[in-house]
Amino acid sequence: MARPNFPIDEAYLIAGWLESFFWGFYTLLFGMSMYAIYQKRRDGINVFTTVSILLLYLLATTHMSLALVRLIQGFIFYRDTIGPILYFANISVRLNMAKDYIYITNLVLGDLVVVWRLYVVWGKNIWVVVAPLIMIAGELISGYGAISQWLLPHPNPPTMVKWGTAMYVLSMATNILVTAAIASRIWYVTRRTQAVLGVEGNNRYSRVILLIVESGALIAAAKLIEFTLFKLAPVDGLNGLNAMYMIYESMPQITGLVPTAIVYAVNNGFTNQDDYYTSRGPRSTLVFGSRFATATEPTAYDNRSLSTVGFASPSPDDVTKRRKRVPQADEKIELPSRSSASVVESPV
């Protein structure tokens, strides 16, 4: 049975088109997200997230610029000498290596953003993120190790493939495990809050969980497809299925797009419906000041919520001590002041 063939020059040409498309959409979304952050600057800015999405965009833009330069060189400057296929197959070219280093840095930074979200959602418990950070360190070392093989006097392509395989596996595992840990924490704390306080929650946190899981699933699916095509691609890039490069070249845009989309959605209130819980009594409303509340500035209760979700981790006894009396039917409880509410820093 003949092996499927997808020439590397065609793969890079399609990859350039796809990356340009994603970059255009990414640029639009990035601009809107930064504008939303600027508008809400009086409410407080999450420095880590803002700097991260800025760096992700700069890395993605630099990657696309180098990719376009390489396309011009392959299809114009070297067209009548070595030809596009041999040019693109030579991934040891310094221009391509610089692009690949940017790809790996972008990949690692995207995973760090997800781990930061895990850190905040788990009440800034450093022990929760130790394992993911070790996995990301391994991802960084294996990725740089794979590309740096071409700097050796005698490069070994099979060794590069092994390093690359380790990078892909660690990145996928980190993304899947961290996303699951974030979603499960939000679900658990929300359920526990409802049980302890005897209230029914709206679907606000369900939207948050759905947003986080869907974004994590999108990244994981893209990485899985990329890894599968990576294993099917020929080592020399000359004959065989080179479709991997279509995903590989677009990943810096996808990696930055997803966290930027989350920031945009949260800053524009797409995860919010109502900022209160209703008690089980007939038509009564209870607005409470809980450490489980979503973090916002200036309070955890108004409609300008900036967070996806950030939780502290008090014990059930602490929560019981903070309970208000159960309101009677049609009785309104006044909104707690900022001083009476525990505000948790937003992960977004």
Measured from the Cβ of residue 122, the count of other Cβ atoms closer than 10 Å reads 21
Query: Per-residue pLDDT tens for 156-212?
Result: 888 999 999 999 999 999 999 998 898 888 888 878 877 777 655 555 566 777 777
Dist CA 217 CA 208 (whole Å): 14
Dist CA 118 CA 141 (whole Å): 22
pLDDT at 60 (0 to 100): 97
Domain map (residue ranges) of the chain: 8-267
Dist CA 256 CA 258 (whole Å): 6
DSSP-assigned letters across all residues of 36-48: HHHHTGGG---HH
Tokens of 164: 């690359």
pLDDT at 283 (0 to 100): 36
For 333, residues 6+ apart whose C-beta sits below 8 A from its C-beta are 285, 286, 287, 288, 324, 327
What average pLDDT values come out for the chain (348 residues) when binned by 10 residues?
77 94 96 89 82 95 96 92 91 92 96 91 91 96 93 87 93 92 84 71 63 82 92 84 92 93 81 41 34 37 36 40 48 44 46
Tell which CATH classification among 1.10.287, 3.40.50, 1.20.1070, 1.10.3470 matches the domain 8-267.
Answer: 1.20.1070
* Nearest Cα to Cα of residue 209 among 121, 325, 288, 331: 121
Expressed in angstroms, the distance from the first to the final Cα of the chain is 51
pLDDT at 146 (0 to 100): 93
Tokens of 320: 């019981």
Q: Are strands 277-279 and 199-200 parallel, antiparallel or unpaired?
A: antiparallel
Tell me the whole-structure pTM to 2 decimals. 0.76
Angle (nearest 5°) at CA 6 between 94 and 252: 45
Dist CA 307 CA 295 (whole Å): 6
Q: Which value, to the nearest 10 degrees, does the dihedral of the CA atoms of residues 114, 182, 342, 193 take?
A: 170
Query: Per-residue pLDDT tens for 240-261?
Result: 889 999 999 999 999 999 989 8
DSSP-assigned letters across all residues of 318-337: HHHHTPPPPPPTTPBPPPPP
Dist CA 201 CA 193 (whole Å): 9
